[in-house]
Amino acid sequence: MINPVLLIVIPLLLAFVGVMFKNFSKSLLFFGLVLNTIFVFFVQKGSYELGGWQPPFGINLLVDNYSFFGIILINVLFLVSSLIGMKKIGKYSLPLLISLAGLNGMVLTNDLFNFYVFFEIATISAYIISTLHGKYHHTFNYLVLGSVGSSLYLLGIIIVYAVVGSLNMSDLSVHFSELSQNIQLIVSILIFSGLAVEAKLIPFNSWVRGIYSNVNTLTAPLFSAVYASTIFLVFGRFFSNLITVSGPLFNIFIAITFITFIFAETSATATKNMREILTFSSIGQAGLITGLFLIGGGYAAVLQLINNAFAKLVMFSTAANVYENNSSDSIDKAAGIFRKYPLVGFGFTVSALSLIGLPLFYGFYAKFNIINTAFNINWIIPLVILLGSLLEGVYYIRMLVKLWVPGEEHEEATEKLTTKFSMNKLFVISVVAVVVGFLFIMGGIYPELFGDFVQNVSTPLKESLSYLSVGVM
């Protein structure tokens, strides 16, 4: 069996080797990605002590069903994202390797300060990778806000350490409710605010539009699928296992997440560029998924997290490819482009319909469970979710019709009207689009294929964290 620390050490070691052998850095990147993706399936669940010190005095990695799913998702998506954006990697191989190490560490660690270290590693790598689009003022904005978020989180865990005397997450999951109300309030606000920057929640998300709306075929799937999924998983861990929020603060946090959802979905209806629409959709999904974690709907949140990750992988990659080949991703100018590239159009269409939550697609099962979970809280939240889903349906259906059917309304669609836009280097995107489209359809027809799996993944979110002995699960 594989020790999970290798998922962090291997990318870091290869990045160090890459500094000395720069000509081989791209080969080292793909060697590390493939090795990590293979190793991750052989990781044994349990608690892994680092340095021979037992927790809570020493640092440990925790692999339960939730974090095991997290590292599989991260490493598979990272490999696929890098394959899609292979031509764009250039000199960014080393930041990508360091980024992978940081993201794996964020999900695996059972220590709050260690999490901060991995969080910083992953976000600093993200700042560097975001410079690929050449619009450095957006990266600077991202860096400033990201630094503020990291500082707020750090201040929160300093207070925790001063009061509890430990930064072990298993300890905090047991002792947090025993802290005074004022300490709980301050720590909750600081950690929520710190994570909300990367989770794209209002009012901490002003960096998102500049970064996401200018992504290319490498950064599009990397940010929208890999980074987004990681921060959602972390948010779920923190606000399900560690921090209990109640009363007026709970209402404020819930309001922030669902205002983010509605505001973003409304904004998406007012734009006509593919990447901008997907940017607002990503912000909306961030509000929905984090809101579900807050209300205790871990099962529904994980269902939607999977739905969003794979749908955005296909849709953002397609939109970035359209822009790279035509210097525009306007829906009007790209009208009819899927008639020329039906395989990509199939994957894009199925992904969009799954995100909307239409029957016969995986997203319908996810949306059904989301509404069902929300009704257990009150009747307002499900209404908000239904309204957001309706807005989502409006802009996605409008975009799909335009991308499949060229010409004006009531005008017969012909090949002559099809856009002159092109999409090149499509092999990997086409394969990914077909595979993801097929899985979404299978998940819609046979939801039980995924239901039991997601149930096992989300079960640890209902329990306090404990030090698992290696091999007991």
Residue 272, Cα to own-chain centre: how many angstroms?
A: 24
Supply 361's token pair: 């697609």
Q: Please determine, for residue 469, whether its predicted confidence score (pLDDT) is greater than 70.
A: no
The answer to whether residues 205 and 260 touch, using CB atoms and an 8 Å cutoff, is yes
> What pLDDT was estimated at residue 421?
78
Other CB atoms within a 10 A radius of the CB of residue 106 amount to: 26
The answer to whether residues 167 and 234 touch, using CB atoms and an 8 Å cutoff, is no
Mean pLDDT over 180-195 rounds to 93
Helices (runs of H) and strands (runs of E) counted in the chain: 20, 2
DSSP state of 62: E
> What angle separates helix 228-237 from helix 298-326, to the nearest 10 degrees?
160
Query: What are the residues facing 393 on neighbouring strands?
Result: none
Mean pLDDT over 4-15 rounds to 94
> What pLDDT was estimated at residue 6?
94
Q: Please determine, for residue 28, whether its predicted confidence score (pLDDT) is greater than 90.
A: yes
> What pLDDT was estimated at residue 473?
37
Q: Does 413 or 173 have the greater pLDDT score?
A: 173
> What pLDDT was estimated at residue 173?
85
Rg (C-alpha) for the chain, rounded Å, is 22
- pLDDT class for 412, splitting at 50, 70, 90? low
> What pLDDT was estimated at residue 299?
94
Cα–Cα distance between 461 and 455 in angstroms, integer?
A: 10
Query: What are the residues facing 111 on neighbouring strands?
Result: 168
- The domain segmentation of the chain, as residue ranges, is 5-471
Give the residue carrying structure tokens 């997907």: 278
Mean pLDDT over 379-389 rounds to 92
Mean pLDDT over 30-43 rounds to 95
Q: Which of 150, 166, 175 is nearest to 55 (CA)?
A: 166
> What pLDDT was estimated at residue 283?
95
Cα–Cα distance between 268 and 419 in angstroms, integer?
A: 23
The answer to whether residues 74 and 229 touch, using CB atoms and an 8 Å cutoff, is yes
The residues, any chain, with a CB within 8 Å of residue 98's CB and separated by 6 or more, are 11, 12, 15, 121, 125
Average the pLDDT over each of 193-197, 317-321, 421-425 and give the range with the smallest value. Answer: 421-425
DSSP state of 47: E
Supply 24's token pair: 């081989």
3-state secondary structure 190-235: HHHHHHHHHHCCCCCCCCHHHHHCCCCCCHHHHHHHHHHHHHHHHH
DSSP state of 240: I
The residues, any chain, with a CB within 8 Å of residue 348's CB and separated by 6 or more, are 314, 315, 318, 338, 400, 403, 433
> What pLDDT was estimated at residue 410?
60
> What pLDDT was estimated at residue 408?
65
Average the pLDDT over each of 45-54, 91-100, 374-383, 411-420 and give the range with the smallest value. Answer: 411-420
Q: Which of 318, 317, 384, 397 is nearest to 356 (CA)?
A: 397
Q: Following DSSP, what letter does each residue of 334-365 receive, concatenated?
A: TTTHHHH-HHHHHHHHHHHHHHHT-TTSHHHH
> What pLDDT was estimated at residue 249?
93
Percent of the chain with pLDDT over 70: 96
- pLDDT class for 292, splitting at 50, 70, 90? very high
Q: Please determine, for residue 295, whether its predicted confidence score (pLDDT) is greater than 80.
A: yes
- In this structure, is the dihedral angle defined by the CA atoms of residues 389, 391, 395 and 400, taken in order, positive or negative? positive
> What pLDDT was estimated at residue 51?
75
Give the residue carrying structure tokens 């989180």: 153
What stretch of H or E contains 305? helix 298-326
Distances (CA, A) of 237 to 5, 115, 194, 301, 394: 19, 12, 14, 12, 33
Q: Which of 263, 312, 268 is nearest to 287 (CA)?
A: 263
> What pLDDT was estimated at residue 472?
38
Q: Following DSSP, what letter does each residue of 63-126 receive, concatenated?
A: E-HHHHHHHHHHHHHHHHHHHHTGGG-GGGHHHHHHHHHHHHHHHHB-BHHHHHHHHHHHHHHH
DSSP state of 306: H
Mean pLDDT of the chain: 90
pLDDT tens-digit map of 337-374: 998 899 999 999 999 999 999 999 999 999 999 999 99
Q: Please determine, for residue 471, whether its predicted confidence score (pLDDT) is greater than 60.
A: no
> What pLDDT was estimated at residue 449?
81
> What pLDDT was estimated at residue 468?
56
- pLDDT class for 447, splitting at 50, 70, 90? confident
Amino acid present at 471: G
